Amino acid sequence: MTQRQSEILQESIKLIADKGIQGLTMKNLANAIGVTEPAIYRHFENKQKILLGILSLFENNKEIFSKFLQDETSNPLEQLKLLVKMRFKYFAKNRAIASVIFSEELFRNDPLLSEKVFEIMKENQKIFVQIIKAGQKLSVIKKDVTADQLTLIIIGAIRLIVTKWRLSGCSFNLEKEGAYFWKSIEILIKI
């Protein structure tokens, strides 16, 4: 990954954050960087590759999550809290990623992209399920609802909060709202 390539990805992300995914055109991108459109093709084969590049940035982030998964000393409930917190923090810092990751509809006609989004979604789920299962085993999380269902509920809520935040023009403090949500979910799921 060269300097220019990462610059292109960063500028793409900015454009998406600003004007939505429709705002990411080769023309806009070229203008934002300060070169002409064909120059971009020296660094990325096509537009799809740029989008895949953005998704990869998100994918790499998963390593960070799996780190503290290894740390088995801490309580699963604490791990889960941290995970939820990190998610909100990440989206607050990377608005554009949410635009990309949550607009599966746009990738419907592009199997490669939609598959990647689906993969990231699944990978993300796995981490939640793993922690929740551990919590259930240690009897700190309710067992009368499956880990899959609890994961679904938590991820669904996170997505909705982030979506609302974006639609509102980022008018409220996402991390604060996230912390508030955690309080609620903790009450519901802990034993």
Check binding of 148 to DNA (CB under 7 A): no
Contact footprint for a second copy (CB under 8 A): 19-23, 99, 102-106, 108-109, 114, 118, 142, 144-146, 149-150, 152-153, 155-161, 163, 167, 180-181, 184-185, 187-189
172 binds, among DNA, a second copy, none (CB under 5 to 8 A by kind): none
Strand partners, 141: 190
21 binds, among a second copy, DNA, none (CB under 5 to 8 A by kind): a second copy
61 burial via Cβ count (<10 Å: 0-12, 13-18, 19+): middle
Nearest to 51 by CA among 27, 18, 16: 16
Which listed residue (10, 14, 26, 103) binds DNA by CB under 7 A? Answer: 26
> Under the phi-then-psi rule, with left for phi > 0, alpha for psi from -120 to 50, and beta for the rest, what region is 147?
alpha
CB 68 within 8 A of CB 134: no
187 binds, among DNA, a second copy, none (CB under 5 to 8 A by kind): a second copy
CA atoms of 121 and 62, how far apart (whole Å): 11
Check binding of 4 to DNA (CB under 7 A): yes
6 binds, among DNA, a second copy, none (CB under 5 to 8 A by kind): none
